[in-house]
Amino acid sequence: MSGERTPEDKYVSAQRRRYLYIILFLAIAIGIAVYSFGVGSAVIDFNIAIKVIIDRLNGIVPDRSVDYWAWLRDMLVIEDTVPRALGGLIIGAILGVCGAVMQTCVRNPLASPYTTGISAAALFGVTLSLVLGFRFIPIPGETGLIMNAFILSMFPCLLMIMVSVKRKTTPTMLVLIGIGVMYLFNAFTMIMKYRAEPDVLKQIQLWSIGSLTGIGWSAVYVLFATLIALLIFMLCFSRKMDVMASGENQSISLGVRPDRVRIICMVAISACTSVAVAFSGAIGFVGLIIPHLSRLFVGSKSKMLIPCSAVLGALLLIASDVVARLLGNGLPVGAVTAVIGSPVFIYFLIKMRSNGWGK
Amino acid sequence: MKLELNGVSFSYPSKEVLNNLSFKFEGAELVAILGPNGVGKSTLIHCIDRILKPSGGSILINDKNNIDFTMKEMSKTVGYVPYASSDSFPMTVVDAVLLGRHPHSNWKSTKEDLRIVYRVLKEMGIEDLANNQFNELSAGQHQKAMLARGLVQEPQILLLDEPTANLDVKHQLGVTKLLRNLSHEREMLIVMICHDLNIASKYADDIIMMKDGTIFATGKPQDVITKSNIETVYDVRCNVIDDEGRPHVILQDEVQH
């Protein structure tokens, strides 16, 4: 009968409606990021920040010798506030996507980039540099510190690859290897902290909790390239990942090599997570909770789950940073993400009529 | 479609599971694999579907060695319905069944894929459950949904690992009868592992009876399901009577040694 919609048409319409959630969350995240321009500074409020940005877009750059305060406001907004907001959005997106892919690949709702030991290894790399002055690549300044974190965070990933090549690995085995690595590097870090001077100890603490302080434009460019590569790569693998979630034997029967796909995705996740950790420290909550929140809105299909996890991760992290800066100077964003994220997650689980996790 | 095994063996590091299995089936029929627990029935199915690699022998599908198939060719030719679902995350019945179209799809599902899924759900009698969560179905509904996933794959050979496990008598009969009808209507060779001798006898066209990792007997139900075979393979006493041309087993007790 003309005009009567088939079940297939209804299914396609329902899928399209889910994209509206993604667009909505993206708009909210951008809105919060713009609002954050005027947060947490004694000299910059929202109106000043917006004026500075508009002036810059019109090519107006204050001269320090002519108007010092205008130059200072310009520096604070353009070199600190804006890249910090962008960095927060991008890091949140990376962590959200990595968490979603990790949980799908290892078929474990408790999996996150941090259960593979990546953040613990990265933190130990930072600690090595701060306490002993050791750097794998002798580059001075923060760059050398970041390289330490990046190089050591690849260790858990390479370990998983080696084990997978030697023998057939199950998703549970990969998570257990990651947990073992996490405890190992946490133990090394504790030993280093025991020997550290008080001021160095404070720095290590900041890295272990996570912070967006000090993210500049060079970091934003690297993070943005990482996010784009991650999204493209994972969306190309999205159908294979969905099949993998049905089980090892079923995956092979449907034409997917789960071990191969798992390792490829884990390498990509490890690399991208280590980049995020290298710039922001160990912000661990986002990768664990965001995929579950995303599933409540868009379901478990990776083609929806990945972009939704990206925008929700961005939203959570930038919102947490705003709250951290409102509450007081120097409060690490990682401390706030868990405080905000947990109640929100529990609220949605209780309120949503169907969460699909069974009886 | 043709399935032929020649001298197939499989061993785990610590023990041999399959030893020199050979059989051949051709055409549209329902084949039931019977045998005690641990005899290698699931291992046999996994070897056919290339989930496991045999240590010896060859498996020919339509006269081509199964190791010569690409993964995509294999997944289009042979379908598999596991004993239990390992789906890890919440998804609707439609999405779960749609995964079965993966071998036929490129980078995204098409409307034709969806049309096939909804058609099969209707054939299974579970089209009303399309938007329900897959892991919230009853055992019978769940089994039908998993079967639907195998059917949308449109394979020539469908392998099922105990499709009637955890089902009540009514659903056991219903699912097995459905499989027999589907094998004839869709010209598929359906191979299912089964523990119920009478259901296998009633609906299967051919039987493989296994013992100790080898094929003990193969052939028509009336030739394989005999008192002597059952007592030897299962170590139980029984009587076998004729029920409309098919053997019907009446179990008595374990064999006293």
In this prediction the ipTM stands at 0.90
pLDDT at B255: 59
Count of the separate structural domains present in chain A: 1
- CA A358 vs. chain centroid, Å, equals 28
* Cβ atoms within 10 Å, residue B101: 20
Closest Cβ–Cβ partner in B99, B127, B133 for A243: B99
CATH code of the domain covering residue A159: 1.10.3470.10
Chain A, 250 to 289: residues with Cβ < 8 Å from chain B are 250, 252-257
Of the listed ranges A112-116, A181-185, A290-294, the one predicted with least confidence: A112-116
Query: H/E/C letters for each residue in chain B?
Result: CEEEEEEEEEECCCCEEEEEEEEEEECCEEEEEECCCCCCHHHHHHHHCCCCCCCEEEEEECCEEHHHCCHHHHHHHEEEECCCCCCCCCCEHHHHHHHHHHHHCCCCCCHHHHHHHHHHHHHHCCHHHCCCEHHHCCHHHHHHHHHHHHHHCCCCEEEECCCCCCCCHHHHHHHHHHHHHHHHHCCCEEEEECCCHHHHHHHCCEEEEEECCEEEEEECHHHHCCHHHHHHHHCEEEEEEEECCEEEEEEEEECCC
Whether residue A273 contacts residue A95, with contact meaning beta carbons closer than 8 Å, is answered with: yes
Which pTM value belongs to this model? 0.87
Q: Is B105 close to A357, i.e. CB distance below 8 A?
A: no
A239 contacts on B by Cβ (under 8 Å): 102, 105, 107-108
pLDDT at A355: 47
pLDDT at B98: 94
B102 contacts on A by Cβ (under 8 Å): 239, 243, 254-256
Residue B29 scores a pLDDT above 60:
yes
Q: Pairing mode, if any, of strands B29-34 and B78-81?
A: unpaired
Mean per-residue pLDDT, B52-64: 93
Whether residue B192 contacts residue B179, with contact meaning beta carbons closer than 8 Å, is answered with: yes
Q: Is B87 close to A243, i.e. CB distance below 8 A?
A: no
pLDDT at B170: 87
Mean per-residue pLDDT, B33-55: 93
* pLDDT tens profile B125-169: 899 999 998 888 888 888 889 999 999 999 999 999 999 887 888
Of the listed ranges A166-170, A262-266, B80-84, B191-195, the one predicted with least confidence: A166-170
**Within a domain: residue A17?**
no
pLDDT at A359: 33
Mean per-residue pLDDT, A113-128: 82
Whether residue A297 contacts residue A344, with contact meaning beta carbons closer than 8 Å, is answered with: no
**Regarding predicted confidence, which is higher, A72 or A116?**
A72
Of the listed ranges A210-214, A329-333, B107-111, the one predicted with least confidence: A329-333
Q: Is B75 close to A355, i.e. CB distance below 8 A?
A: no
And the tokens for B46? Answer: 């996994």
Can you tell me the distance from the alpha carbon of B169 to that of B139, in angstroms, rounded to the nearest whole number? Answer: 12
**Within a domain: residue A358?**
no
pLDDT at A2: 52
pLDDT at A358: 39
Please state, rounded to an integer, the average pLDDT across all residues of chain B: 90
Q: Is B95 close to A256, i.e. CB distance below 8 A?
A: no
Range of A331's domain? 85-351
Which CATH class name applies to B2-254? alpha beta
Confidence of residue A348 (pLDDT cuts 50, 70, 90): low
> How far B105 CA sits from the closest chain A CA (Å)?
10
Please state, rounded to an integer, the average pLDDT across all residues of chain A: 84
**Within a domain: residue A281?**
yes
B82 contacts on A by Cβ (under 8 Å): 247, 249-250
Q: Smallest Cα–Cα separation from A276: which of A150, A151, A162?
A: A150
* pLDDT tens profile A15-24: 888 999 999 9
pLDDT at B256: 53
A15 contacts on B by Cβ (under 8 Å): none
Can you tell me the distance from the alpha carbon of A263 to that of A158, in angstroms, rounded to the nearest whole number? Answer: 10
- With the CA atoms of A279, A284, A285 and A289 taken in that order, what torsion angle do they form, in degrees rounded to the nearest 10? 100
> How far A132 CA sits from the closest chain B CA (Å)?
44
pLDDT at B159: 96
pLDDT at A356: 45
**Within a domain: residue A22?**
no
Residue A283 scores a pLDDT above 60:
yes
Q: Is B86 close to A301, i.e. CB distance below 8 A?
A: no
pLDDT at B257: 55
Residue A272 scores a pLDDT above 90:
no
**Within a domain: residue A244?**
yes
Domain range list for chain B: 2-254
Can you tell me the distance from the alpha carbon of B112 to that of A345, in angstroms, rounded to the nearest whole number? Answer: 37
Scored b (16 or more CB within 10 A) or e, B10-49 reads beeeeeebbbebebebeebbbbbbbbeeebbbbbbbbbbb
Residue A1 scores a pLDDT above 60:
no
pLDDT at A357: 46
Residue A224 scores a pLDDT above 50:
yes
* pLDDT tens profile B169-201: 888 888 899 999 999 998 999 999 999 999 999
Confidence of residue A168 (pLDDT cuts 50, 70, 90): low
